[in-house]
Amino acid sequence: MATCVRIGNIEITALRDIGPLAFPSSNVFSDMQEGGWDSRSHHLTKEGEFPTNFTVFLVKSHDATVIVDTGGGPGPHEAMDGTEGQLMDALANKGVSPEDVDHVFFSHLHFDHIGWALRQNPDGESTPTFPNARYVISTTEWNYWTQPDILSSSPVEQAIYPLERMGLVDLTDDETPLATGIRAMATPGHTPGHQSLLVESGGETAIIAGDVLHNTVQFEMPDLCADFDQDKPVARAPRRKLLERLAADRTMSTFGHLLIDSNIGHVIKVEDRYSWQPL
Protein backbone atom coordinates (compact mmCIF):
# COMPACT_ATOMS: atom_id res chain seq x y z
CA MET A 1 0.00 0.00 0.00
CA ALA A 2 1.06 3.58 -0.59
CA THR A 3 3.01 5.87 1.70
CA CYS A 4 2.99 8.73 -0.80
CA VAL A 5 0.32 10.58 -2.78
CA ARG A 6 0.28 13.55 -5.17
CA ILE A 7 -2.38 16.22 -4.79
CA GLY A 8 -1.99 18.27 -7.99
CA ASN A 9 1.56 19.59 -7.74
CA ILE A 10 1.97 18.86 -4.03
CA GLU A 11 3.41 15.59 -2.74
CA ILE A 12 2.45 14.12 0.64
CA THR A 13 4.59 11.35 2.14
CA ALA A 14 4.06 9.40 5.36
CA LEU A 15 7.34 9.06 7.31
CA ARG A 16 7.60 6.51 10.08
CA ASP A 17 9.13 7.91 13.25
CA ILE A 18 8.16 5.20 15.73
CA GLY A 19 6.35 1.90 15.75
CA PRO A 20 4.27 0.04 15.31
CA LEU A 21 3.94 -0.13 19.08
CA ALA A 22 1.13 -2.15 20.62
CA PHE A 23 -1.01 -0.99 23.54
CA PRO A 24 -3.80 -2.90 25.32
CA SER A 25 -6.92 -1.96 23.34
CA SER A 26 -8.98 -1.88 26.53
CA ASN A 27 -6.69 0.85 27.91
CA VAL A 28 -6.88 2.97 24.77
CA PHE A 29 -10.59 2.49 24.01
CA SER A 30 -12.05 1.86 27.43
CA ASP A 31 -15.56 2.80 26.21
CA MET A 32 -15.63 -0.01 23.63
CA GLN A 33 -18.44 -2.41 24.29
CA GLU A 34 -17.89 -6.15 24.60
CA GLY A 35 -17.52 -7.78 21.18
CA GLY A 36 -16.98 -4.46 19.37
CA TRP A 37 -13.58 -5.36 17.98
CA ASP A 38 -12.92 -7.29 14.82
CA SER A 39 -9.24 -8.23 15.07
CA ARG A 40 -8.64 -8.44 11.33
CA SER A 41 -10.43 -5.34 10.05
CA HIS A 42 -9.32 -3.22 13.01
CA HIS A 43 -5.71 -4.39 12.72
CA LEU A 44 -5.35 -5.73 16.25
CA THR A 45 -2.36 -7.92 17.08
CA LYS A 46 -2.69 -11.65 17.79
CA GLU A 47 -2.84 -10.73 21.47
CA GLY A 48 -5.74 -8.34 20.81
CA GLU A 49 -3.60 -5.25 21.30
CA PHE A 50 -3.96 -2.00 19.39
CA PRO A 51 -0.86 -1.29 17.26
CA THR A 52 0.02 2.24 16.23
CA ASN A 53 2.71 4.26 14.50
CA PHE A 54 3.91 7.75 15.30
CA THR A 55 3.88 9.15 11.77
CA VAL A 56 5.12 12.47 10.42
CA PHE A 57 3.80 13.73 7.08
CA LEU A 58 6.09 15.50 4.64
CA VAL A 59 4.34 17.98 2.34
CA LYS A 60 6.41 19.25 -0.60
CA SER A 61 5.23 21.86 -3.04
CA HIS A 62 7.08 24.09 -5.52
CA ASP A 63 7.44 26.80 -2.88
CA ALA A 64 7.42 25.07 0.50
CA THR A 65 8.59 22.06 2.45
CA VAL A 66 6.35 21.38 5.43
CA ILE A 67 6.38 18.61 8.00
CA VAL A 68 3.26 17.84 10.00
CA ASP A 69 4.26 16.96 13.58
CA THR A 70 7.66 15.80 14.79
CA GLY A 71 6.96 12.34 16.20
CA GLY A 72 8.22 10.92 19.45
CA GLY A 73 11.79 12.16 19.10
CA PRO A 74 15.23 10.60 19.30
CA GLY A 75 14.79 8.45 22.41
CA PRO A 76 15.54 5.88 23.65
CA HIS A 77 12.00 6.02 25.06
CA GLU A 78 11.96 3.88 28.16
CA ALA A 79 8.18 3.74 28.29
CA MET A 80 8.23 2.35 24.76
CA ASP A 81 10.72 -0.52 25.02
CA GLY A 82 13.73 1.68 24.28
CA THR A 83 12.37 2.78 20.92
CA GLU A 84 14.30 5.47 19.07
CA GLY A 85 12.59 7.77 16.60
CA GLN A 86 13.53 7.34 12.94
CA LEU A 87 12.31 10.65 11.54
CA MET A 88 15.70 12.08 10.60
CA ASP A 89 16.63 8.93 8.64
CA ALA A 90 13.22 8.91 6.98
CA LEU A 91 13.66 12.54 5.89
CA ALA A 92 17.18 11.87 4.60
CA ASN A 93 15.85 8.93 2.57
CA LYS A 94 13.51 11.38 0.87
CA GLY A 95 16.42 13.75 0.17
CA VAL A 96 15.25 16.33 2.72
CA SER A 97 17.75 17.87 5.13
CA PRO A 98 16.65 19.61 8.34
CA GLU A 99 17.66 22.94 6.77
CA ASP A 100 15.19 22.41 3.91
CA VAL A 101 12.11 22.47 6.14
CA ASP A 102 10.22 25.79 5.94
CA HIS A 103 7.33 25.01 8.31
CA VAL A 104 6.87 22.54 11.14
CA PHE A 105 3.09 22.35 11.51
CA PHE A 106 1.85 20.82 14.77
CA SER A 107 -1.56 19.14 14.77
CA HIS A 108 -1.39 19.43 18.56
CA LEU A 109 1.15 19.34 21.40
CA HIS A 110 0.97 15.81 22.82
CA PHE A 111 4.38 14.21 23.46
CA ASP A 112 4.17 11.89 20.43
CA HIS A 113 3.88 14.88 18.06
CA ILE A 114 6.58 17.22 19.38
CA GLY A 115 9.56 14.92 19.96
CA TRP A 116 12.01 16.19 17.33
CA ALA A 117 11.18 19.91 17.56
CA LEU A 118 14.30 20.72 19.58
CA ARG A 119 17.60 18.93 20.17
CA GLN A 120 20.08 19.39 22.95
CA ASN A 121 23.72 20.06 22.13
CA PRO A 122 26.48 18.55 24.33
CA ASP A 123 26.31 21.62 26.64
CA GLY A 124 22.63 20.90 27.33
CA GLU A 125 21.53 23.87 25.25
CA SER A 126 18.34 23.48 23.18
CA THR A 127 18.58 24.22 19.47
CA PRO A 128 15.87 23.92 16.82
CA THR A 129 16.16 20.68 14.85
CA PHE A 130 14.89 22.48 11.74
CA PRO A 131 16.88 25.72 11.90
CA ASN A 132 15.18 27.55 9.01
CA ALA A 133 11.62 26.58 9.90
CA ARG A 134 8.73 28.47 11.41
CA TYR A 135 7.02 26.31 14.03
CA VAL A 136 3.26 26.57 13.52
CA ILE A 137 0.85 25.98 16.43
CA SER A 138 -2.83 26.87 16.79
CA THR A 139 -3.49 29.85 19.04
CA THR A 140 -5.99 27.83 21.10
CA GLU A 141 -3.51 24.98 21.55
CA TRP A 142 -0.75 27.34 22.57
CA ASN A 143 -2.95 29.17 25.08
CA TYR A 144 -4.05 25.88 26.62
CA TRP A 145 -0.60 24.30 27.09
CA THR A 146 1.13 27.47 28.24
CA GLN A 147 -1.12 27.98 31.27
CA PRO A 148 1.48 27.89 34.06
CA ASP A 149 0.12 24.87 35.97
CA ILE A 150 -0.31 22.83 32.78
CA LEU A 151 3.01 23.89 31.27
CA SER A 152 5.05 22.93 34.31
CA SER A 153 3.71 19.38 34.32
CA SER A 154 3.85 18.71 30.58
CA PRO A 155 6.60 17.83 28.07
CA VAL A 156 5.68 21.04 26.22
CA GLU A 157 7.79 23.04 28.68
CA GLN A 158 11.05 21.47 27.47
CA ALA A 159 10.11 20.29 24.01
CA ILE A 160 8.30 23.36 22.62
CA TYR A 161 8.30 26.38 24.93
CA PRO A 162 11.92 27.42 24.26
CA LEU A 163 11.00 27.92 20.57
CA GLU A 164 8.91 30.91 21.57
CA ARG A 165 11.89 32.60 23.26
CA MET A 166 13.84 31.95 20.05
CA GLY A 167 11.13 33.83 18.11
CA LEU A 168 10.34 30.79 15.95
CA VAL A 169 6.66 30.17 16.80
CA ASP A 170 3.82 31.26 14.50
CA LEU A 171 0.35 31.02 15.98
CA THR A 172 -2.45 30.03 13.58
CA ASP A 173 -6.21 30.08 13.47
CA ASP A 174 -8.67 28.24 11.23
CA GLU A 175 -7.78 28.89 7.57
CA THR A 176 -4.36 30.45 8.22
CA PRO A 177 -2.30 29.90 5.04
CA LEU A 178 1.26 28.52 5.25
CA ALA A 179 2.08 28.49 1.53
CA THR A 180 0.28 28.27 -1.80
CA GLY A 181 -2.44 25.60 -1.46
CA ILE A 182 -1.51 24.73 2.14
CA ARG A 183 -3.48 26.03 5.11
CA ALA A 184 -4.58 25.25 8.65
CA MET A 185 -8.03 23.89 9.46
CA ALA A 186 -9.41 23.77 13.01
CA THR A 187 -10.46 20.25 14.09
CA PRO A 188 -10.71 20.59 17.89
CA GLY A 189 -11.60 17.85 20.33
CA HIS A 190 -8.65 15.50 20.67
CA THR A 191 -7.03 18.53 22.29
CA PRO A 192 -8.56 22.01 22.62
CA GLY A 193 -6.67 23.45 19.64
CA HIS A 194 -6.13 20.37 17.50
CA GLN A 195 -5.77 21.37 13.84
CA SER A 196 -5.48 19.61 10.50
CA LEU A 197 -3.61 20.67 7.38
CA LEU A 198 -5.61 21.31 4.23
CA VAL A 199 -3.73 20.75 0.95
CA GLU A 200 -5.27 21.92 -2.34
CA SER A 201 -3.66 21.81 -5.78
CA GLY A 202 -4.82 21.23 -9.35
CA GLY A 203 -8.43 20.81 -8.30
CA GLU A 204 -7.58 18.06 -5.79
CA THR A 205 -7.76 18.22 -2.00
CA ALA A 206 -6.26 16.31 0.92
CA ILE A 207 -6.68 16.77 4.66
CA ILE A 208 -3.88 15.66 6.97
CA ALA A 209 -6.07 14.99 9.97
CA GLY A 210 -3.67 14.25 12.83
CA ASP A 211 -5.37 12.55 15.78
CA VAL A 212 -9.01 13.14 14.84
CA LEU A 213 -9.14 9.36 15.13
CA HIS A 214 -6.74 6.59 16.15
CA ASN A 215 -8.03 3.31 14.72
CA THR A 216 -10.13 2.16 11.77
CA VAL A 217 -12.86 1.07 14.19
CA GLN A 218 -13.71 4.78 14.56
CA PHE A 219 -14.88 4.98 10.93
CA GLU A 220 -17.57 2.49 11.87
CA MET A 221 -18.14 4.02 15.31
CA PRO A 222 -17.37 7.75 15.00
CA ASP A 223 -18.62 8.45 18.51
CA LEU A 224 -16.12 6.03 20.05
CA CYS A 225 -13.27 8.06 21.52
CA ALA A 226 -9.75 7.01 22.37
CA ASP A 227 -8.90 7.70 25.98
CA PHE A 228 -6.23 10.07 24.62
CA ASP A 229 -9.03 12.45 23.57
CA GLN A 230 -8.93 15.19 26.18
CA ASP A 231 -12.61 16.08 25.85
CA LYS A 232 -14.58 13.15 24.48
CA PRO A 233 -17.95 14.96 24.09
CA VAL A 234 -16.23 17.79 22.21
CA ALA A 235 -14.25 15.39 19.99
CA ARG A 236 -17.29 13.58 18.58
CA ALA A 237 -19.01 16.32 16.54
CA PRO A 238 -15.90 17.52 14.65
CA ARG A 239 -14.96 13.87 13.91
CA ARG A 240 -18.41 13.19 12.41
CA LYS A 241 -18.33 16.47 10.50
CA LEU A 242 -14.90 15.72 9.05
CA LEU A 243 -15.84 12.15 8.07
CA GLU A 244 -18.97 13.47 6.37
CA ARG A 245 -16.93 15.95 4.37
CA LEU A 246 -14.23 13.44 3.47
CA ALA A 247 -16.80 10.93 2.25
CA ALA A 248 -18.96 13.48 0.39
CA ASP A 249 -16.06 14.98 -1.59
CA ARG A 250 -13.92 11.79 -1.78
CA THR A 251 -11.21 13.97 -0.29
CA MET A 252 -7.89 12.23 0.27
CA SER A 253 -7.00 12.08 3.96
CA THR A 254 -4.34 10.85 6.36
CA PHE A 255 -4.43 9.91 10.04
CA GLY A 256 -1.20 9.84 12.03
CA HIS A 257 -1.88 6.81 14.21
CA LEU A 258 -3.20 4.40 11.60
CA LEU A 259 -0.53 1.93 10.53
CA ILE A 260 2.11 3.43 8.28
CA ASP A 261 1.28 1.57 5.08
CA SER A 262 -2.46 2.19 5.35
CA ASN A 263 -2.76 5.71 6.73
CA ILE A 264 -3.42 7.55 3.45
CA GLY A 265 -6.76 6.94 1.76
CA HIS A 266 -10.42 7.74 1.35
CA VAL A 267 -13.39 7.64 3.69
CA ILE A 268 -16.32 5.82 2.07
CA LYS A 269 -19.94 6.13 3.20
CA VAL A 270 -22.42 3.39 2.35
CA GLU A 271 -25.89 4.07 3.72
CA ASP A 272 -25.10 5.40 7.22
CA ARG A 273 -21.81 3.62 7.69
CA TYR A 274 -18.32 4.97 7.10
CA SER A 275 -15.32 2.81 6.23
CA TRP A 276 -11.67 3.38 5.34
CA GLN A 277 -10.21 2.62 1.94
CA PRO A 278 -6.42 2.95 2.09
CA LEU A 279 -4.58 3.86 -1.09
| Cβ nearer to Zn ion, comparing 54 with 181 | 54
Which residues, listed in sequence order, are joined to residue 133 by a DSSP beta bridge? none
Minimum distance of Zn ion from residue 70's CB (angstroms): 12
**Binding-site string for Zn ion from residue 12 to residue 51, where x marks contact by CB under 5 A and - marks none:** ----------------------------------------
Give the Cα separation of 209 and 102 in Å (integer): 20
Give the Cα separation of 205 and 111 in Å (integer): 28
Interface with Zn ion, residue 141, by CB under 5 A: no
Sole window of 21-29, 41-49, 108-116, 232-240 interacting with Zn ion (rule: CB under 5 A): 108-116
Minimum distance of Zn ion from residue 249's CB (angstroms): 25
Opening angle at CA 103, ends 194 and 249, nearest 5: 55
SS3 category, 27: helix
Please pick, from the candidates 112, 118, 259, 262, the single residue that binds Zn ion as defined by CB under 5 A: 112
Give the Cα separation of 45 and 43 in Å (integer): 7
**Binding-site string for Zn ion from residue 159 to residue 198, where x marks contact by CB under 5 A and - marks none:** ----------------------------------------
Minimum distance of Zn ion from residue 54's CB (angstroms): 7
Opening angle at CA 160, ends 134 and 106, nearest 5: 55
Interface with Zn ion, residue 211, by CB under 5 A: yes
Minimum distance of Zn ion from residue 142's CB (angstroms): 18
Give the Cα separation of 191 and 207 in Å (integer): 18
CB 98 within 8 A of CB 65: no
Interface ranges with Zn ion (CB under 5 A): 112, 211
